[in-house]
């Protein structure tokens, strides 16, 4: 028989004390893994598609597009703002002259045939690419506001906003290694300029910025790159009289950048067109 000696100066370990010891050891071993998971979760949350950040983005865009933080009140918004794009309407400024309004009404009609806007689809196809109201006046604005009371139309607006503008902007921002502010700068640019092939489109604004600085994913400094992107954005805005007021960049996005608030963490204070806004 093998004799196992025990220390003479300490108590004999009990089954209970052994279990406590093993539990403590297990907890200590798991701590680094838990910390890593928490860090990963925190990093994942630092994106514009985090619900709280997305809500901030909607309010920021609404302050510039509608002079209000109440972006959900804009489902019913519609007017011709004289920018050559026909009617501008809804939560993201869908335009009868730039195809996105046609796509939106088509989606709504696919989901809910016979809705109040479906009868305007032929006219929307005709005026696409122009500033004409032919076939839309006089009742299209009234019917748009009526449709905006329908949750199905509201959801269609949300879905088209995400498909055409929000998701591509966030995806490109992540690819470039940008945090929340950079992703928002992309989103705001694609909302205003679209992502076509013309020199002032989002993709060409980005290309212009890339001639001046590299994004983090390419080894560049994030703040330096964002300043280059915002410079390119201001240039694009000044090419068009309707967008020549650059305060949505100068007294909003650049303010956050100067403050080093790359994650758009509240409180946020900014101005657009001279009006002050706050998110607490």
pLDDT at 36: 41
Given a cut of 70, the residues of the chain with pLDDT beneath it are 1-45
Q: Give yes or no: 55 in active site.
A: no
pLDDT at 151: 98
Q: Give yes or no: 222 in active site.
A: no
pLDDT at 259: 98
pLDDT at 46: 81
Q: Which residues contact 249 (CB under 8 A, 6 or more apart)?
A: 230, 233, 234, 237
User: Which sign does the torsion angle of CA 92, 94, 100, 101 carry?
Assistant: positive
Q: Which CATH architecture has domain 176-273?
A: Up-down Bundle (1.20)
The two tokens of residue 257 are 């950048």
The rounded distance, in Å, linking the Cα atoms of 24 and 145 is 63
pLDDT at 122: 98
Which member of 50, 83, 126, 159 is catalytic? Answer: 83
Is the bond into 267 cis (omega within 30 degrees of 0)?
Answer: yes
The DSSP output letter for 230 is H
Q: Specify whether the backbone of 90 is left (phi greater than 0), alpha (psi in -120 to 50) or beta.
A: left
Fold of 69-160: Chitosanase; Chain A, domain 2 (3.30.386)
Determine how many CB atoms are found less than 10 A away from the CB of residue 268. Answer: 18
Per-residue pLDDT of 12-32, as tens digits, reads 445 545 554 444 445 444 444
- The β-bridge relationship of strands 268-272 and 78-79 is unpaired
Q: What is the pTM of this model?
A: 0.83
Could you tell me which residues are beta bridge partners of residue 278? 269
Does residue 193 contact residue 204 with C-beta atoms inside 8 Å?
Answer: no
Which member of 65, 128, 188, 222 is catalytic? Answer: 65
Per-residue pLDDT of 176-222, as tens digits, reads 999 999 999 999 999 999 999 999 999 999 999 999 999 999 999 99
Does residue 209 contact residue 185 with C-beta atoms inside 8 Å?
Answer: no
Please check whether the two domains, 69-160 and 176-273, share a CATH topology.
no
pLDDT at 84: 93
Q: What is the CA radius of gyration of the chain?
A: 27
Domain boundaries, the chain: 69-160, 176-273
pLDDT at 4: 37
């Amino acid at each position: 028989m093998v004799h196992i000696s025990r220390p003479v100066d300490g108590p004999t370990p009990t089954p209970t004390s052994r279990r406590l010891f093993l539990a403590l050891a297990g907890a200590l071993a798991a701590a680094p893994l838990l910390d890593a998971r928490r860090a990963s979760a925190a990093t994942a949350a630092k994106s514009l598609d985090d619900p709280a950040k997305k809500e901030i983005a909607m309010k920021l865009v609404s302050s510039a597009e509608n002079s209000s933080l109440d972006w959900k009140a804009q489902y019913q918004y519609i007017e011709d703002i004289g920018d050559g794009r026909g009617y501008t309407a809804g939560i993201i400024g869908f335009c009868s002259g730039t195809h996105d309004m046609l796509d939106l009404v088509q989606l709504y009609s696919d989901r809910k045939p016979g809705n109040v806007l479906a009868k305007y689809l032929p006219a929307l196809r005709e005026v696409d690419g122009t500033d004409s109201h032919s076939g839309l006046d006089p009742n299209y604005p009234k019917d748009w506001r009526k449709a905006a009371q329908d949750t199905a139309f509201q959801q269609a607006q949300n879905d088209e906003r995400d498909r055409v503008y929000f998701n591509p902007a966030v995806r490109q921002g992540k690819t470039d290694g940008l945090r929340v502010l950079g992703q928002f700068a992309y989103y705001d640019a694609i909302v205003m300029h679209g992502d076509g092939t013309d020199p002032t489109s989002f993709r060409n604004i980005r290309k212009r910025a890339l001639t001046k600085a590299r994004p983090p994913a390419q080894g560049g400094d994030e703040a330096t790159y964002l300043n280059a992107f915002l410079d390119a954005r201001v240039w694009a805005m000044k090419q068009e009289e309707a967008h020549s007021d650059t305060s949505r960049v100068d007294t909003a996005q650049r303010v956050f950048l100067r403050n080093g608030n790359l994650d758009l963490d509240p409180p946020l204070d900014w101005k657009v067109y001279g009006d002050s806004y706050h998110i607490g």
